Chains A and B, each alone.
Chain A
């Protein structure tokens, strides 16, 4: 504290209070997940007297978390890969190529961003029924990719537009076709843009809940968010077990956040401003 100038003590007080409010629920969750039920309900102290690590084992086994987490990793990975591929192609097309109907395509990509989920999820469900893709990972991933594409396309378009043209032109002079140029020259250079899109869409896909709720019936196919609510309603687990399950569910995303923070900040900025 000694190095904080006196006139800033009030400011740091405000920041500390805000940090406490932001962190307290999470710290309480971790603490509660390590208590016995009696200790938790008596609420005598905030730290577990005798940490009950086996709560995590119980949560993992009872809640089938291994299955849900595996599904979430799979769906998130596929969704992010799909979004990166589709949106970098489209973003490059809009930024660099010249073709008939470009204005219309740009308008469509912009316009669909305005259509909100509440207006669509019902009809998306109906559409997937007719395609025989409900309760099906492919249907879910296609929805995830589609919902990420418009914003990511705009981010990638902005990214490509800011890149120098020299390399592509050199590659084109060497006789490389547009797809080769794109794959071998453009994409490797686009890594910072791709990283921003990947982290932001990865978080979104990992945390998606509405479509997972609507589409999945089989527990063995559910992603973690849907699995958590299925666990809560079907098994009525004890509170400390559910807290342990919830803690397990956020470990991947918190680690990811702490590691990729810089990209996340950039990605959110790019997504919002574009």
Chain B
């Protein structure tokens, strides 16, 4: 803020003002949009969680902590939180595991590399609605093609989406099918950025394949791994459309997830206040997770 000191001649002060105005003009549209449509709603969601609103009336009376008390004893919301932890773990372990293994595999082949890369990311360009519709047919209990395929090899079919014991892992598997290509692309790009000299040096030291992976690939890939992990985890935790179209949270609440619970609470049950309380609890947890992960990554990269 030295430009504001009195010692600065008026012409230079005018120059600084002009510079600031130009800078603000360039940033203006972005800040205005984000301010109006992101920051304001974020703050409003917090306010709304202390109010009661039916979605129509202009009145939103204050109800103190009632919404939070209601949510705290809402079995659907807590079932959705448990389920989403399962989605998070499966997405994180299976999704990232498949992504890494396939990236390593594609990176070692020459012939067909473009083909495999294209095919592996193809599911990733579909929408949640398309994936949901498609798998609701494939996994259908009677005529579903998966059961028919299994019958060919003598395995008994299942009611994949209707059986409370299998629905959750099945939906998680659909998520992995849909989403692993994203991590795959990033891992593959990361692998291609590792300098060849490092592997040549390891060869000179007589390193075997495993120690090359352990001491060259894995540490070199660490920055990509941490960002892929965070993004996959966040995507899994925010799963909504796939579940809504596939099972709508059923059977019972066995595949309910928080975003769907929030949506239902607001747009089906007309209880926007408690829906807002849910979104503050769940959204707050996601923000905390991101901040934590970023802090850990930053500390690690400093060492």
Residue positions of A touching B, CB distance < 8 A:
3-4, 8, 11-12, 14-15, 18-19, 21-23, 25-26, 28-29, 32, 40-41, 43, 85-87, 89-90, 92-94, 97-102, 105, 108-109, 112, 114-127, 142-143, 145-147, 149-150, 153, 178-179, 182, 203, 206-207, 209-210, 213-214, 225-226, 228-229, 232, 239, 242-243, 246, 249-250, 253-254, 256-258, 261, 264-265, 268-269, 272-273
Tell me the residues in window 246-301 of chain B with beta carbons closer than 8 Å to chain A beta carbons: 258-259, 262-263, 266-267, 272, 275-276, 279-280, 282-284, 286-287, 290-291
Are the C-beta atoms of B279 and A86 separated by less than 8 Å? no
Give the contacting residue for B33; candidates A14, A26, A41, A142; CB below 8 A. Answer: A142
In the complex, how many angstroms separate the beta carbon of A212 from the nearest chain B beta carbon?
9
Are the C-beta atoms of A102 and B23 separated by less than 8 Å? yes
Are the C-beta atoms of A86 and B262 separated by less than 8 Å? no
Are the C-beta atoms of A214 and B290 separated by less than 8 Å? no
Is B138 interfacial (CB-CB < 8 Å)? Answer: yes
- Complex Cα spacing A126 to B119, Å: 41
Is B170 interfacial (CB-CB < 8 Å)? Answer: no
B126 closest partner in A (C-beta) = A250
Are the C-beta atoms of B19 and A99 separated by less than 8 Å? yes
- Complex Cα spacing A267 to B6, Å: 48
In the complex, how many angstroms separate the beta carbon of B256 from the nearest chain A beta carbon?
13
- Complex Cα spacing A126 to B238, Å: 21
Are the C-beta atoms of A18 and B120 separated by less than 8 Å? yes
Is B122 interfacial (CB-CB < 8 Å)? Answer: yes
- Complex Cα spacing A25 to B123, Å: 9
Are the C-beta atoms of A93 and B279 separated by less than 8 Å? no
A15-B109, A178-B22 given. 15 additional CB < 8 A pairs? A22-B122, A25-B134, A43-B145, A90-B31, A97-B22, A102-B23, A105-B31, A115-B38, A123-B42, A126-B41, A146-B34, A214-B267, A228-B130, A257-B122, A272-B231
Binds A, one of B67-75, B100-108, B195-203, B211-219: B100-108
- Complex Cα spacing A145 to B30, Å: 9
Give the contacting residue for B287; candidates A3, A102, A116, A126; CB below 8 A. Answer: A116
- Complex Cα spacing A3 to B138, Å: 36
Residues on B with C-beta less than 8 A from A213 are 241, 263
- Complex Cα spacing A77 to B274, Å: 36
Residues on B with C-beta less than 8 A from A206 are 127
How many residues on B have C-beta within 8 angstroms of the other chain's C-beta atoms? 92
Give the contacting residue for B286; candidates A92, A118, A232, A258; CB below 8 A. Answer: A118
The verdict on A12 contacting B41 (CB below 8 Å), with A99-B20, A114-B287 known, is: no
Residues on B with C-beta less than 8 A from A32 are 137
Are the C-beta atoms of A4 and B111 separated by less than 8 Å? yes
- Complex Cα spacing A32 to B287, Å: 42
The verdict on A225 contacting B24 (CB below 8 Å), with A118-B262, A146-B37, A246-B134 known, is: no
Residues on B with C-beta less than 8 A from A100 are 1, 3, 16, 20, 23
Residues on B with C-beta less than 8 A from A112 are 34, 38-39
Are the C-beta atoms of B130 and A149 separated by less than 8 Å? no
Residues on B with C-beta less than 8 A from A93 are 23, 26-27
Are the C-beta atoms of A269 and B33 separated by less than 8 Å? no
Residues on A with C-beta less than 8 A from B108 are 8, 11
- Complex Cα spacing A112 to B33, Å: 11
B144 closest partner in A (C-beta) = A43
